[in-house]
């Protein structure tokens, strides 16, 4: 019994503890930094892993001297709309490629995924031209339009794998009973693919929420900024880093994504498992 316990300890509990430490330590560091004063933060004689004199100054500075609330609303607006647009396009594209099986459907599916691997930096010029032509520069709608360009390819690939795991016989039986293709898709395929859809939605929302490069390039007005850009541009002034408010903002901005993952983690894992079958 003792040998089995030691073996289980070394093979399961020890790696699990290391994984949890690596995963949770950044959140712990953000939390303690958010309630430290600058004097305590730069005092190397104190233990850096504990709060010795907690303060609310960083929280007050974040909400009173910046537009953090507006940035959060902007980020929610962009992330939700970009996710909905991406899911709508990805659902139709993945179902058409996986079920209709037209000529070169497999090649198109692979090409869509490869387009996700294109570095975003080389797309600035063509995307900027489109944004200028549409007259939505320095607007949140520019981000809503741009984000699906990298969300749709991955979501389509993810849903293709999940649609492949759904038996075709169910759809064929519905077609024999006289159901249309759209009705089959909406009433049979979509409910069965819900874990995959939630997985793709979580992925799209997370990427939209944390995106920095496009938001920094296409948004310049302070009231239109998202959280990642607003924190960096407003709390890093020259060579002065306001670490307390920065960590407070980063901690608060990570809460929505953490809540989404905690509520839908089972569906997320099921969706990723189905996608790997592709």
- Domain containing 31: what range? 1-55
> Given the structure tokens 């859809």, which residue do they identify?
197
Looking at the fold, whether 121 and 184 belong to one and the same domain comes out as yes
pLDDT in tens, 16-51: 889 888 888 988 999 999 998 888 888 888 888 888
Looking at the fold, whether 140 and 119 belong to one and the same domain comes out as yes
* Within-domain flag for 23: yes
Helix extents (H) in the chain: 2-8, 14-34, 38-41, 57-65, 68-95, 105-116, 124-134, 140-146, 148-164, 168-176, 181-184, 190-192, 194-210, 213-218, 227-235, 243-276
Looking at the fold, whether 78 and 34 belong to one and the same domain comes out as no
Looking at the fold, whether 215 and 106 belong to one and the same domain comes out as yes
| Residue 46 φ then ψ, to 5° | -90, 155
pLDDT in tens, 125-144: 888 888 888 888 889 999 99
> Which DSSP string do the residues of 212-227 spell out, in sequence order?
-HHHHHH--SGGG--H
CB contact set of 52 (below 8 Å; sequence gap of 6+): 40, 46
Looking at the fold, whether 144 and 50 belong to one and the same domain comes out as no
Calpha distance 102→59 (Å, rounded): 56
Looking at the fold, whether 39 and 125 belong to one and the same domain comes out as no
pLDDT in tens, 104-116: 766 777 777 777 7
For the chain, how many structural domains are there in total?
2
Looking at the fold, whether 98 and 160 belong to one and the same domain comes out as yes
Looking at the fold, whether 49 and 78 belong to one and the same domain comes out as no
Looking at the fold, whether 39 and 150 belong to one and the same domain comes out as no
* Within-domain flag for 61: no
């Amino acid at each position: 019994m003792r040998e089995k316990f030691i073996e289980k300890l070394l093979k399961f509990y020890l790696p699990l503890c290391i994984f949890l430490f690596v995963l949770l330590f950044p959140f712990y560091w953000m939390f303690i930094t958010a309630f430290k004063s600058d004097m305590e933060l730069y005092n190397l004689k104190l233990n850096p892993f504990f709060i010795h004199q907690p303060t609310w100054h960083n929280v007050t500075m974040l909400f009173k001297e910046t537009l953090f609330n507006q940035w959060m609303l902007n980020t929610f607006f962009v992330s939700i709309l970009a996710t909905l647009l991406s899911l709508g396009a990805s659902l139709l594209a993945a179902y058409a490629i996986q079920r209709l099986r037209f000529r070169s459907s497999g090649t198109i599916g692979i090409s869509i995924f490869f387009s996700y691997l294109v570095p975003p930096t080389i797309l600035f010029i063509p995307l900027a031209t489109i944004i200028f032509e549409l007259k939505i520069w320095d607007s949140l709608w520019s981000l809503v339009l741009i984000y699906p360009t990298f969300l749709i390819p991955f979501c389509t690939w993810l849903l293709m794998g999940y649609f492949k795991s759904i038996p075709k016989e169910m759809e064929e039986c519905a077609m024999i009973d006289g159901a249309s293709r759209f009705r089959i898709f909406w009433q049979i395929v979509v409910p069965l693919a819900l874990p995959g859809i939630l997985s793709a939605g979580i992925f799209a929302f997370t990427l939209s929420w944390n995106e920095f490069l496009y938001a920094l390039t296409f948004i310049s007005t302070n009231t239109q900024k998202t959280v990642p850009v607003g924190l960096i541009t407003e709390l890093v002034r020259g060579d002065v880093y306001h670490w307390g408010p920065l960590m407070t903002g980063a901690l608060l901005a990570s809460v929505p994504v953490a809540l989404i993952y905690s509520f839908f983690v089972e569906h997320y894992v099921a969706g990723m498992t189905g996608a790997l079958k592709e």
